[in-house]
Chain A
Amino acid sequence: MPQPGYHAPETVQQAIALLSKEPGARVLAGGTDLIVQMRSGRIASPLIVDLKRISGMIGIRASGDGFAIGAATPCTALKKDAAFAAAWPGVVEAANLIGSVQVRNRATMAGNLCNASPAADSVPALIAAGATCLIAGPSGERELPVEQLATGPGRTGLATGEFVVELRLPARPKGGGDAYLRLIPRTEMDIAVVGAGAALVIDAAGTCTAARISIGAVAPTALLVADAGAALVGSKFDDAALGRMGEAVRAACSPIDDKRGTISYRTDMAAVIARRAVAIARQRAGEAN
Chain B
Amino acid sequence: MTKQFVTTTVNGDTAEFICEPGESLLDALRGRLQLTGSKEGCGSGDCGACTILLDGEMVCSCLVFAAEAEGRVIETVEGMADGSVLHPVQRKFLEHAALQCGFCTPGFLVATKALLDHNPDPSEHEIRYWLAGNLCRCTGYDKIVRAVQDTAREMRNERKTA
Contacts and interface: CB of A to CB of B under 8 A. Distances in A.
Given A4-B1, A6-B4, A102-B60, A28 B22 contact: no
Given A101-B133, A105-B59, A5 B1 contact: yes
A6 B133 contact: no
Nearest to A186: B132
Given A39-B44, A106-B63, A188-B129, A8 B68 contact: yes
B22 A3 contact: yes
Given A35-B65, A101-B58, A102-B111, A5 B45 contact: no
Given A6-B4, A50-B68, A103-B60, A1 B44 contact: no
A48 interface: yes
Contacts of B45: 32, 36, 99-100, 102-103
A31 B68 CA distance: 11
A76 interface: yes
B64 to A, nearest CB: 7
A92 B94 CA distance: 37
Given A6-B67, A31-B64, A189-B133, A102 B22 contact: no
A52 interface: yes
A48 B133 contact: no
B132 A100 contact: yes
B132 A188 contact: yes
A102 B58 contact: yes
Interface string B40-55: 0001111010010010
B63 A32 contact: yes
B4 A102 contact: no
Contacts of B51: 102
Interface string A68-83: 0000001010000000
Most A Cβ at <10 Å: residue of B43, B45, B129: B45
Please classify how large the interface on chain A is, using the bins under 10, 10 to 19, 20 to 34, 35 or more: 20 to 34
A38 interface: yes
Interface string A51-62: 010000000000
A68 B114 CA distance: 29
A4 B22 contact: yes
B142 interface: no
B43 A39 contact: yes
B63 A31 contact: yes
Contacts of B43: 39
Given A31-B65, A35-B64, 4 more contacts: A48-B22, A105-B54, A105-B58, A187-B132
Interface of B: 1-2, 4, 20-22, 24, 43-46, 48, 51, 54, 57-60, 62-65, 67-68, 70, 111, 114, 129-130, 132-134
Instruction: Pick the 8 closest A-B CB pairs, nearest first.
Output: A100-B133, A6-B21, A188-B132, A105-B57, A3-B1, A6-B67, A102-B133, A102-B60
